[in-house]
Amino acid sequence: MELDRRSFLAATGGSLAALAVLPEFGFATALPHAADPIPVALIGAGRHGRALIDELQKIEAVKIAAVCDIDQARLDGLKRRVQGVTGYTSHTELLDKAKDVKAVIIATPTHTHKAIALDALSAGKHIFCEAPLAHTVDDCKAIAKAASKAAGIVFQSGLYARSNPVYKLARTFFRSDSVRDLICMRAQNFKKQSWRFPSSDAAKDKEVNWRLDPAVSLGLAGEMGTHQFDVFHYYLGKYPKSVWGSGSLRVYKDDGRSIADTIHCDLHFADGANLSYLASICNSFEGRFEVFQGSNAAIKLAWSHGWMFKEADAPTQGWEVYANRQQFHQDEGITLIADATKLASQGKLKDGIGLPFSPQYYALVDFIASIVESKPSVCTADEGARGTIVGIAAAQAVASGKDVEITDEMLKI
């Protein structure tokens, strides 16, 4: 399970050789080609489902055959976005009637993933399941075990760093020792948003606002943290051994919720490295990012963008002459751009800043490519389950205000 950075260097022939080819890493994701587009169904018409449907429509190898949501109004809204799509108000009806559907995308509330995923696996569908995979450790393991038994089925967990070209590019820098000795890791997710969804029907309010229900919600640590913690799992090749957390209501004190609107977690790794994580829905400053700080450089990743901040005494690499730079107060960041040499030769270096498509798009392209080209999933159910279990532990730590151990047994599928 673990692959440390030094082992990786030995395997890749050392940092200089690796760096020599790094800038040519491309954003151009090879689009899958299918003789006939793959019929796909989307289950879950919330905000995330709507974003996914917009991205799916850009992939030629996909035919959106069906959409599903238990709420008729939300379902109607989704149907308005896709020409000629069939709508269903239950996933069992969809699986029963839409026989031509080959793959399902699960974007429903976290605690409903297991039932849908297991039914879809039984029906022989390929699955893209949003992360967190589930709201309990048992459910995560149940999904992963079922997926491992489903021969010939692609199961991709929706942990987006694994498909994000900026994150993949930055990872090659990280794993070729650009940051050198890892000092600390930081991440945050700040977005001013109430986490409440409108519902005029009191009976539906609990269902619509499941994120505010402590019985099923993993809060900020689970819902947002799971995605960001996985960046560190992906880069380090290992999982934390324990997590401490705290949370409080800083703003939403009067609307009846108990799920913290602002949290802090510290994740501890076996070698003494720490990841400090802050998240809040009360402020938007600096948004979402993950940072690795080492003795030679820091790498900052921000969803669609990435930068490297080098120490003055760090060795200069040849490719840096092409680099585009951005100033952040006293620090100068080298923009991590794919195809940098090619773009520089065309005088278009600035065109390469930032992802051309949304991270969801690249994850869906990977999913379809795995189906069409019989390639391994870029993020298996096991990896999704383990990442989610770390998020669940973090949520427990926030709720209790105590350290929560993350044992090998917990992570064993």
Partner 1 sequence: MQTGQRGLFGALPIFMVIPDSTPSPGDPVRVAVHAACEAMRTRFEFVLWGSDRAHLTAAAEEAIEEIHACEARLSLFQPGSLISLVNREAALRPVVIDPQTFALLELAQDVHHQSGGAFDITIGPLMRAWGFRGQEGEPQNPLSLQTAKWGMHQVILDRRTCTVRFANEGMELDLGAIGKGHALDLAMACLTAAGGGVKDALIHAGTSSILAIGSPPGEDCWRIALGPEPDSPIVSFRNAALGISAPRGRTLQVGDNEIGHILDPRTGKPCTSANTAAAIYPSVAPGFRPVSADAAAADAWSTAALVLGTDLSNRNFQPPPSNASHPTFFLQTFRNGPWEIIGDRNYAHGSHIPSANTHLSICPPE
Q: Which parts of this chain interact with partner 1 (CB under 8 A)?
A: 47, 50-51, 54, 57-58, 73-74, 77, 80-84, 193-194, 196-201, 208, 255, 355-358, 361
Closer Cβ to partner 1, 84 or 272, answer by number: 84
Closest separation in Å from C-beta 346 to partner 1: 15
Closer Cβ to partner 1, 213 or 320, answer by number: 213
What is the full DSSP assignment across 114-139? HHHHHHHHHTT-EEEEESS--SSHHH
Closest separation in Å from C-beta 193 to partner 1: 6
Residue 305: CB partners within 8 Å, gap ≥ 6? 166, 335, 336, 353, 354, 355
Closer Cβ to partner 1, 81 or 145, answer by number: 81
Closest separation in Å from C-beta 55 to partner 1: 8
Residue 249: CB partners within 8 Å, gap ≥ 6? 257, 258, 260, 261, 262
Closer Cβ to partner 1, 180 or 196, answer by number: 196
Residues 77, 51 contacting (CB under 8 angstroms): no
Closest separation in Å from C-beta 180 to partner 1: 34
What is the DSSP secondary structure assignment for residue 363, as one 8-state letter? Answer: H
Closer Cβ to partner 1, 198 or 376, answer by number: 198
Closest separation in Å from C-beta 204 to partner 1: 8
Q: Which two tokens stand for residue 404?
A: 């929560």
Q: Please name which of 29, 11, 273, 22 lies closest in space to residue 165, comparing C-alpha atoms.
A: 29
Closer Cβ to partner 1, 292 or 367, answer by number: 367
Closer Cβ to partner 1, 42 or 393, answer by number: 42
Sheet holding 403-405, edge to edge: 325-328, 331-335, 305-310, 297-302, 288-294, 182-190, 274-280, 262-268, 242-248, 403-405
Distance CA 323, CA 35 (A): 40
Closer Cβ to partner 1, 60 or 138, answer by number: 60
Closest separation in Å from C-beta 136 to partner 1: 27
Closest separation in Å from C-beta 98 to partner 1: 20
Q: Please name which of 117, 119, 118, 121 lies closest in space to residue 107, comparing C-alpha atoms.
A: 117
Distance CA 162, CA 233 (A): 10
Closest separation in Å from C-beta 50 to partner 1: 6
Other Cβ atoms less than 10 A from the Cβ of 36: the count is 7
